[in-house]
Amino acid sequence: MADHVPSESDQRTENSGVRHAYRVLTEAEKAQMVEVKDLGAAFIAKLHEIGGTDPAGDRFASRDLALANTHAEDAVMRAVRHITA
């Protein structure tokens, strides 16, 4: 998909390949979603720092750090799903 819509934008209701309908989020919900995603990104950046790997890449220094990344991504996804449900 060539076009991208910010996740906190109301236009995301027009950008779905899976859900058939989205509700419009309140400003507080949008702020929560952005905060959760920022916390997840900061945690993943810390994993790269701990392992001495490039934060722009997707490689981690160990299987444990890679699993921590996977679980962080899952946690963010689930928190965002709660906010947007």
pLDDT digits (tens, 9 = 90+) for 17-61: 666 677 889 999 999 999 999 999 999 999 999 999 999 998 999
* pTM for this predicted structure: 0.77
* pLDDT tens, residue by residue, 57-84: 989 999 999 999 999 999 999 999 999 9
Domain locations in the chain as residue ranges: 22-84
pLDDT of residue 2: 45
Read off the pLDDT band of 12 (50, 70, 90): low
Q: Which of the pair, 49 or 7, is modelled with greater confidence?
A: 49
List all residues 6 or more positions away from 56 whose beta carbon is below 8 Å from its beta carbon.
none
Q: For the stretch 25-41, what's the b/e string if a residue is b when 16 or more beta carbons lie within 10 angstroms of its beta carbon?
A: beeeebebbeebbeebe
